[in-house]
Amino acid sequence: MTEKCPFQFDLMNPMTHNEKLPFEAFATLRRECPVSYQSGAPEYGGDFWAITRREDLDFVSKHPDKFSSSVNLAHPSPGGDDPESMEIMRQLIINMDPPDHIKYRRVVSNAFTPKAVDALTLIMREFAKSIIDKVAARGECEFVSDVSAEMPLFVICALMEMPAEKRQTFASLVDTMIGMDDPELDVSAEDGQLAAAEIFGIAMELAASHKENPQGGTIIDALLNGVVEGETLDEFQFCTFFLILIAGAVETTRTATSQGMRLLIEHPEQHQMLIDNPALIPDAVEEILRFYPPFIHMQRTATEDISVGGMDIKKGDMVKLFYPSVNHEAEVFGDDADVFDITRTQRMADLKNQHRTFGVGQHFCIGSHLARKELCIMFEEIVPRLRNPKLAGAPHNLVSNFIPGIKHMKITFDPEL
Ligand code: HEM
């Protein structure tokens, strides 16, 4: 039996990440036992190896043959671990292993080209303006529902040509799938499964209506009709792609917007720098992504006995990759790695390639270009118009060991005249 690490931080307990991400615990683990065996409750897959340094995270992520995303999935399962829902979740690209993953990814990444994403820039800008128009004169808002939640949903609905009337249903299904660990949201495993099934239904309707009324050159068309080296997506695979967009594209970007706003409010001098020089906004977005990544962890299962960071991992062991830890590693980001600094790119020009917020290796995020674009456009509208922002009370955080989301965050600002 593998011996537990003497440094235990209850990392799978959602409350450990609730008030703020446990950066001190991660620093201790990186220093004392960067690859450590930790206790985990059975509902989160039991005991596991915690990977807290970038070198080891890169090694695990770049060896999908040795560390499977499929056996126990790459993320906590919203439908619990019953075999049927696990089998469905295995059809999601993020939970595939080679060789299936390589084939499927070719079709999907062929659809999500920077050109296809850039084609949305204009409508994203218009939409961002309309979000801020609605709140600017009020001088206060509930930032999450009024601002952060709006853009990612709009973008996914636009990408997938979803009719406006389906958007609200889609939004509440997203909350159900994400909120399983949060007692306030009171979501059972069964609710999670039902939400997934409903999203499947929406996706099937979209595929059917696209077939009736096809429009070439869109992402949905490339997903449904794309052929890359003889590979295509069938209708079932197309529908599963929808599920990945929930946590993958909606909740993450919403979290980055909310946490980014919180960080700027807590660092007014850095907020002022952005007002004085909006050209710094892309740098600020990169630092927000590094400092407070929207995924706390992803997981793998060892397919063979293997040594990582000098520790002996056994076939079948669960391995968890902690992104907030590797993004705060002093050996990579310097002694001020724990400091939020929007000018970091001035001394680390390739910051975007140094942090691991979008993962690394074969499963590297397909939506990173889209996410960065959404965030830049949002902050370009927020910063000049919501002046002198302040928190009106403590943010109300999502209870989760997966996504450090914010459920509600009331803020005040100078009303726009
Ligand atoms: C700030 C926002 C986002 C963050 C932090 C993020 C993060 C990540 C991470 C860490 C992975 C790698 C998972 C692993 O190695 O197991 C990933 C994969 C993925 N992401 Fe994102 N993501 C974001 C936005 C998006 C968006 C907007 C899309 C929409 C297209 C998207 C689609 C995907 C897909 C399809 C995968 C699976 C790729 C594969 O398995 O080959 N993500 N993302």
Nearest CA to ligand 1 atom 32: 367
- Answer yes or no: is the C-beta of 90 below 6 A from any ligand 1 atom: no
Q: Give the pLDDT score at 79.
A: 57
- Answer yes or no: is the C-beta of 112 below 6 A from any ligand 1 atom: yes
Residue 370 alpha carbon, nearest atom of ligand 1:
27
Q: Measure the CA–CA gap between 339 and 291, rounded to whole angstroms.
A: 8
Q: Measure the CA–CA gap between 259 and 294, rounded to whole angstroms.
A: 9
Q: Is the dihedral of CA 70, 75, 76, 80 positive or negative?
A: negative
- Answer yes or no: is the C-beta of 148 below 6 A from any ligand 1 atom: no
Q: Measure the CA–CA gap between 251 and 231, rounded to whole angstroms.
A: 30
Whether residue 100 is predicted with pLDDT greater than 80 in this model: the reply is yes
Residue-wise pLDDT tens digits, 180-203: 667 776 777 788 778 878 888 888
Nearest Cα residue to 340 out of 405, 393, 269: 269
Q: Give the pLDDT score at 180.
A: 65
- Answer yes or no: is the C-beta of 22 below 6 A from any ligand 1 atom: no
Q: Measure the CA–CA gap between 402 and 127, rounded to whole angstroms.
A: 29
Instruction: Please give the C-alpha separations between residue 20 and each of 234, 263, 264, 353, in angstroms, as whole numbers.
Output: 42, 12, 16, 25
CA of 28 to the centre of ligand 1 (A): 28
- Answer yes or no: is the C-beta of 247 below 6 A from any ligand 1 atom: no
Q: Mean pLDDT, to the nearest integer, of 392-407?
A: 95
Q: How confident is the model at residue 309 (pLDDT cuts 50, 70, 90)?
A: very high
Q: Give the pLDDT score at 209.
A: 86
Q: Measure the CA–CA gap between 68 and 100, rounded to whole angstroms.
A: 12
**Mean pLDDT, all residues of the chain:** 91
Q: Where are the domains of the chain?
A: 14-412
Residue-wise pLDDT tens digits, 104-131: 888 888 888 888 888 889 999 999 999 9
- Answer yes or no: is the C-beta of 111 below 6 A from any ligand 1 atom: no
pTM of the model: 0.94
Q: Measure the CA–CA gap between 63 and 36, rounded to whole angstroms.
A: 19
CA of 357 to the centre of ligand 1 (A): 9
Residue 362 alpha carbon, nearest atom of ligand 1:
41
Q: Give the pLDDT score at 212.
A: 87
Whether residue 414 is predicted with pLDDT greater than 80 in this model: the reply is yes
- Answer yes or no: is the C-beta of 372 below 6 A from any ligand 1 atom: no
Residue 339 corresponds to which tokens in the numbers above? Answer: 């400091």
Q: Mean pLDDT, to the nearest integer, of 194-221?
A: 83
Ligand 1 pocket, mutate which of 60, 327, 357, 365 (most atoms under 8 A from CB): 365
- Answer yes or no: is the C-beta of 93 below 6 A from any ligand 1 atom: yes
Residue 286 corresponds to which tokens in the numbers above? Answer: 């990169």
Residue-wise pLDDT tens digits, 246-296: 667 888 999 999 999 999 999 999 999 999 999 999 999 999 999 999 999
Q: Measure the CA–CA gap between 257 and 209, rounded to whole angstroms.
A: 32
Read off the amino acid at residue 320: K
Residue 256 alpha carbon, nearest atom of ligand 1:
1
Residue 298 alpha carbon, nearest atom of ligand 1:
16
- Answer yes or no: is the C-beta of 357 below 6 A from any ligand 1 atom: yes
- Answer yes or no: is the C-beta of 25 below 6 A from any ligand 1 atom: no
CA of 112 to the centre of ligand 1 (A): 12
- Answer yes or no: is the C-beta of 299 below 6 A from any ligand 1 atom: no
Residue 143 corresponds to which tokens in the numbers above? Answer: 């930032």
Residue 290 corresponds to which tokens in the numbers above? Answer: 């590094």
- Answer yes or no: is the C-beta of 203 below 6 A from any ligand 1 atom: no
Residue-wise pLDDT tens digits, 337-346: 999 999 999 9
CA of 41 to the centre of ligand 1 (A): 26
- Answer yes or no: is the C-beta of 40 below 6 A from any ligand 1 atom: no
Nearest CA to ligand 1 atom 11: 365
Residue 101 alpha carbon, nearest atom of ligand 1:
41
Nearest CA to ligand 1 atom 6: 358
CA of 108 to the centre of ligand 1 (A): 12
Superfamily of domain 14-412: Cytochrome P450 (1.10.630.10)
- Answer yes or no: is the C-beta of 365 below 6 A from any ligand 1 atom: yes
Residue 323 corresponds to which tokens in the numbers above? Answer: 């992104």
The residue ranking higher by pLDDT, 22 or 116, is: 22
Whether residue 24 is predicted with pLDDT greater than 90 in this model: the reply is yes
CA of 261 to the centre of ligand 1 (A): 21
